A and B are shown apart, each in its own frame.
Chain A
Amino acid sequence: MTAPLRPDLAIIAANVAPGSSVLDVGCGDGALLSALRERHCDARGMELDPANVAQCVARGLSVIQGDADADLSFYPDASIDYAILSQTLQTTKRPDLVLEELLRIGRRAVVSFPNFAHWRVRLALLWGGRMPVTRLLPVAWYETPNIHHVTIDDFRALLKDRGIRVEQAWFLKGDRLTGAAAANLRAEHAVFLLSR
C-alpha cells in the first residue's frame, strides 16, 4: 500500500508521458519518483536531505544528494524529457537561475509552488499584520525554508521576461482543481508545464 500522492504530485505524475526520462529536483522521500517508475519512466532524483536520499535508495530509486542551486550545472543539456521542481522553487537561493537550469537540462520543465497571493495569505497579512502561517506555508518566518515567496502572477511575469512558454498550467484549491480565472487570488497551489 502506498499513500496517495500529494495533489500537485498526482497532477505531475498523470501528465508526464509514460516511458519518458525525468529528473525530480527536491524529490523528498521519492513519492513522485515511485509513481513515475510505475509509469515506466526513467526517473532520477536530487535531494538535499541525506535521510531522504537514504530512504529513496532503500526504495531502489536513483537519487543524488545535491543542491538545486549548485549541482544542476553538472547535468548535460537536453539530457532528459522532464525536469521537475515541486514545492522547491521558493526554497532556492536564485529561483530564476534554477528555472533556467531546469529548461537547459530538460526538454520540458514542471514547476509547482505554493501561491503567496492566495486570499488567505493576503488576509493574514492585511488583517493580522503578520507573516502568514497557513496549511501550505506552515512554518514561521524565522525558520521557514521558503526564502523566496512567489505568487502566480510573479511567476508568470518571470516566465514572460525570460521567454519561457507555458504549455499547460493547473491550479489547486485544497486537493481540487480550480480555474485559471483569478487563480492568483483563489489558488493555493500552482503547477506549470514549461518549455522554451
Chain B
Amino acid sequence: MATAPLPAASQVLDLTAPLPLDCGKDLPGVRIAYETYGTLDAEASNAILICHALTGDQYVASPHPITGKPGWWVRMVGPGLPIDTDRHFVICANVIGSCMGSTGPASPAPDGQPWAMRFPVITIRDMVRGHIALLDALGIARLHAVVGGSMGGMQALSLAANFADRVERALVIASTARHSAQNIAFHEVGRQAIMADPEWRGGDYYAAAGKGPEKGLAVARMAAHITYLSEEGMHEKFGRNLQDRDAKTFGFDADFQVESYLRHQGLSFTDRFDANAYLYITRAMDYFDLAEEHGGRLASAFAGSRTRFCLVSFDTDWLYPTAESRRIAHALNAAGCPVSFMELSAPFGHDSFLLDVPTLDRVVAGFLG
C-alpha cells in the first residue's frame, strides 16, 4: 500500500473551504471520493447515503479497483434490491481519514509530503461533516435516508443527531452509540501491532522501500477479524481442521485452517489498506460517544428530531451486542422519536450485516419504503 498510487475514484469533490474538526483544527484541501448509483430526482428527494465501515470504502455496489472483488454490499444495493437504485439515488463516500481517495494520512499535506502522523485526529462527527459537505455540493438538502452498518451506523447516528433536518430516516445496523472498553481494547491491540512493526517508522513509511508496516497491519486485521465472527460460526467453518496436512507438525506453521484463514485475511488486507489510516479510523471509533457529545444523556442527542429510526442488531454479534442497540432505542423513545428496533438471528456474528440474512433484506426494504 505504501508505494501503491492512490486509486482513482470515479468521482471526487475538492472542498474549497477547510473542514473544521472536533480537535479544534481545520483540515485544508479536503478531497472526498465517492460513488453514486441511480438518478437524483428533480426535487432531490430520493437520495440515500450509505456510510461504510472501518475498512470499507465507497465501492458499495461496484468492483473494488484494487482487489477486483464485487462491491461490499451488492446483495443489498442495486436495481430491484432492498436499497433500490431504480428508485433511489444512492451515494457512498469514502470517509476522511481513510485511504481510498478521500483525504487521509497518506494524502499530501500542504507541503506536498504525506500527512502521515501530522494528520489531525478525526472523529466520527468529522467524517459526517465531510458527508454533509458532499451533500451540499450535490444539492441535497434532505436525505431520504442514511444507512450504515458498524462504523457506518455510528455515522448514521451522528448525522441524525447533529444534522437532524438533513435526514428523514436513519437505518443503523449492528452498531453502537459509544465504543465500549472492550471495543477500545481490541483496537488498541491492533494499533500497537502496527506501531511495533519497525517498518512503521513513526508513520513516515511512505517514501521507504517496501510496503510499510504490513506485518503489523496484518496482525491488527487478524485480531479485528476475530471480533467480526461468532465463536459458533468459526467453529462451524473451521473446527479444529488442519490446513493441507494430515497431522500436526509440532511447529509454528499454520497447522490449523483457522490460522491459515486469518493469515490470509491479514496479508490480503495490506494490499488495499494504509496502516496509518487504520490508526486514525480506529481512533475515531474509540472516541465515539454520542451521549458525551450531548451533555452525557443519549436522549438529548436526539431531542426535537423528526427523523425516523430503525435499529437492527444480531444475536451472535458480541462486538456491538444487542444491548447497545436497545440502549439507543430506549434513548430515542425517551426523546419521542419514532423508532423501530429488532434483534435478528444470524450465525455470522458482527459480519451478519454484510451476509445473507433474508429478514434483514425485508426490514431494509420496508423501512426505506
Q: A residues bordering B, Cβ < 8 Å?
A: 42, 44, 50-51, 53-54, 56-66, 71, 74-76, 79
Contacts and interface: CB of A to CB of B under 8 A. Distances in A.
B294 interface: no
Q: Which of B333, B336, B362 has most chain A Cβ within 10 Å? A: B333
B342 interface: yes
Nearest to B338: A62
A76 B342 contact: no
B257 interface: no
A57 B334 contact: no
Q: In the complex, which of the residues B329, B342, B362, B369 has the most CB atoms of chain A within 10 Å of its own CB atom?
A: B342
Contact of B344 (A50, A59, A63): A50
Q: Is the interface of A mostly helix, strand, loop or mixed?
A: mixed
A43 B36 CA distance: 35
B343 A58 contact: no
Contacts of B340: 53, 56-57, 61-64
B15 interface: no
Interface in B331-352: 333-334, 336, 338-345
A64 B366 contact: no
A51 B362 CA distance: 11
Contact of A74 (B308, B334, B342, B369): B334
B363 A64 contact: no
Contacts of B365: 58
Contacts of B362: 54, 58
A54 B340 CA distance: 9
Closest 5 CB pairs of A and B: A58-B366, A74-B330, A62-B338, A53-B342, A65-B342
Contacts of A44: 338-339
A80 B113 CA distance: 58
A62 B366 contact: no
Nearest to B322: A65
B359 interface: yes
Nearest to A23: B333
A190 to B, nearest CB: 29
Contact of B363 (A42, A58, A71, A74): A58
Interface of B: 308, 310, 326, 329-330, 333-334, 336, 338-345, 359, 362-363, 365-367, 369
Contacts of A54: 342, 344, 359, 362-363
A42 B310 CA distance: 16
B343 A62 contact: no
B88 to A, nearest CB: 16
A76 B334 contact: yes
A61 to B, nearest CB: 7
Given A54-B359, A75-B334, A64 B367 contact: no
A57 to B, nearest CB: 5
B334 A64 contact: no
- Which of A51, A61, A62, A75 has the most B CB atoms < 10 Å from its CB? A62
B48 to A, nearest CB: 16
A57 B336 contact: no
Nearest to B359: A54
A56 to B, nearest CB: 7
A57 B342 contact: yes
Nearest to A49: B342
B363 A65 contact: no
A93 to B, nearest CB: 19
Nearest to B365: A58
Contact of A50 (B326, B330, B342, B366): B342
B345 A64 contact: no
A71 B333 CA distance: 11
Nearest to B369: A60
A40 B256 CA distance: 60
Given A62-B340, A65-B341, A65-B343, A74 B366 contact: no
Contacts of A63: 340, 342
Contacts of A66: 326, 329, 341
B336 A79 contact: yes
A71 to B, nearest CB: 8
Nearest to B325: A65
A44 B334 CA distance: 13
5 contacts: A44-B338, A53-B340, A64-B329, A64-B342, A71-B326
